[in-house]
Amino acid sequence: MELNTGRQANRELTEVLNQLWHLDTNRLKPGTDYRISLQGKAGYVAPGSNQARDRAHAPLFGYVNEEKLHNIETFAHFINLLDNYETSTGVSETVTSEELQENRLFIDAIMETEVMKCAHTYLVKKDQSPADPGQFKRQLYDIWFRLYHRDRRGGEDSCGFEHVFVGETKHGQEIMGLHNWVQFYLQEKHGHVDYKGYKARDNKDSPDEDDHVLNLQFSWKGLVKPIGGSFIGVSPEFEVALFTIIFLMSTEKMTSVVVKVDEYVLELVVYRHGRSIGTSYPKLLSSNNRDL
C-alpha cells in the first residue's frame, strides 16, 4: 500500500486505526481516571533557545489514578521499563538480564490485548509480519528495543522505545522524544518536567481537557521542547500498535501520514533507523472539526 502523504486522510489506515481505538479498553477516561489543566497557550520559542515564557503555572496533570495504572498489566510493565533507560544519548546503555526480561514481559503483556492482536492480524494480511506470534514478538523487539548508535561519538546508546516513550537528551542541549503521557506525568510529578502551555494556531482552536491528543510545550531537566505531540490517556499497547503499523507499511526514512482517529485528524510521523524506529509521534491537525 502506498502511504498517501498528502493532506487527505488515508482511508485504509484510518479504518484500521479506528478499530484499534475502539478496542483500546485500557484507555483511561478523562475527568474520571485523570484530570488535566491546559491553562494558557504557549508562545514561540526560537530554534536552539531554552527560554520559554511559562503560560501554565500549574502542572498539566492535576490527578492520575496511579492505582489503576498499576493494576492494568500493560501499564504496570510499561512503568517498569521507564526506569530502565539512561536519558543521555552517547552514554552506552547497560542492559541487565533483568531489564531484557522486563522488555519481553512488556511485549508478552501487550500481545495479550485485543489491540495488538488486531494490529498483528492486519500486518499478517498485508504480508508485513509473520503469522507466528513468537516470531511477531521478535519483530516487535527489533523495532522497539534493539539498541543502536544515535550518537556517533558513543556506543549503542538508544532504541525506539527509549526515544519515543522515555525521552533522551542530545549533548545536554536538545530534548528528543518524550511523546508519552505516562512518562510526562511521572516526570512532572518528580519535578523534572515543567509544562509551559498548549500549542494551537489561534484562539478559536484551544483544545478541551478531555482531548486524547495534544500539542504541548514544556521543559524537561532545563531543556525546552517548543512543541511535542502526545496522545493522552491511551494505553501503551495502542501507541505501540499504531506506530508499528505505520513503520512497517513504509520503507521510507521518514513517513508522514494523515488519518482521522475518533474525532481527531492527525498527522502521524515515523522516522526509521534501519530495522528500528528512530522516532514516532502524533501531530494534532484538528479535532471536532476545529481547524488547528
Residue 173: count of CB within 10 angstroms of its CB: 9
Q: Are strands 174-176 and 193-198 parallel, antiparallel or unpaired?
A: unpaired
3 assigned to some structural domain: no
Q: Are strands 223-231 and 61-64 parallel, antiparallel or unpaired?
A: unpaired
Tell me the average pLDDT of the chain. 87
On whether the CB atoms of residues 249 and 271 are closer than 8 A, the answer is: no
5 assigned to some structural domain: no
Is residue 124 over pLDDT 80?
Answer: yes
Helices 236-248, 114-125: inter-axial angle, 10-degree rounding: 10
Q: What is residue 206's predicted lDDT score, i.e. its pLDDT?
A: 75
Is residue 259 over pLDDT 70?
Answer: yes
Between 155 and 182, residue with greater pLDDT: 182
Number of domains present in the structure of the chain? 1
Is residue 292 over pLDDT 50?
Answer: no
292 assigned to some structural domain: no
Q: What is residue 50's predicted lDDT score, i.e. its pLDDT?
A: 79
d(CA 40, CA 86): 32
278 assigned to some structural domain: yes
List residues with catalytic annotation.
163, 179, 225
Residue with cell 506506530: 243
Q: Are strands 276-287 and 264-273 parallel, antiparallel or unpaired?
A: antiparallel
Helices 73-82, 236-248: inter-axial angle, 10-degree rounding: 80
Retrieve residue 231's grid coordinates.
Answer: 496522545
**Band of the pLDDT at 46, cuts 50, 70, 90?**
confident
4 assigned to some structural domain: no
25 assigned to some structural domain: yes
The CA-CA-CA angle for residues 161, 126, 15, to 5°, reads 80
195 assigned to some structural domain: yes
- Each residue of 169-206: pLDDT tens digit? 766 777 678 889 999 999 999 999 999 999 886 655 67
pTM: 0.91
60 assigned to some structural domain: yes
Q: What is residue 32's predicted lDDT score, i.e. its pLDDT?
A: 96
Which segment of 5-14, 62-71, 154-163, 268-277 scores lowest on mean pLDDT? 154-163
Structural domain including 166 reads 11-42+53-87+94-287
On whether the CB atoms of residues 232 and 214 are closer than 8 A, the answer is: yes
**Band of the pLDDT at 38, cuts 50, 70, 90?**
very high
